[in-house]
Amino acid sequence: DAKTTQPTSMDCAEGRAANLPCNHSTISGNEYVYWYRQIHSQGPQYIIHGLKNNETNEMASLIITEDRKSSTLILPHATLRDTAVYYCIVRVAGNTGKLIFGQGTTLQVKP
């Protein structure tokens, strides 16, 4: 599975969009980009995943560059409850199952 690089920490004002970048320059053609978050003292929560097209769900949007070497997770209207560690993970969907977690980005949403 390809390695990812994320900033260690970011701040965002409440109500504004939070844009969390991720670099995955060695991604393979059959690898998906996944985003999870871990709110303090809880288990990780699935947010969204995609292969090459942009994706949107009720939680967030995922923008993947055309060359697939980087992506951005967008929380359109951040709230204080979005304060968490956000993990960008690249993996082959299907048989392997396992997720390789990096250190993630600590997002602090401030009032």
Residues that bind another protein (CB under 8 A): 32, 41-46, 49, 87, 93-94, 97-104
Closer to another protein by Cβ: residue 70 or 105: 105
What's at 95, amino acid-wise? N
Closer to another protein by Cβ: residue 78 or 85: 85
- Rounded to an integer, what distance in angstroms lies between the CA atom of residue 42 and that of residue 28? 31
Closer to another protein by Cβ: residue 16 or 46: 46
CB of 99 vs another protein, minimal distance in Å: 6
CB of 92 vs another protein, minimal distance in Å: 10
Task: Pull the structure tokens for residue 54.
Answer: 């942009």
CB of 18 vs another protein, minimal distance in Å: 20
- Would you say 62 and 55 are in contact if contact means Cβ atoms under 8 Å apart? yes
Is 65 strand, coil or helix? Answer: coil
61-64 and 55-56 beta bridge pairing = antiparallel
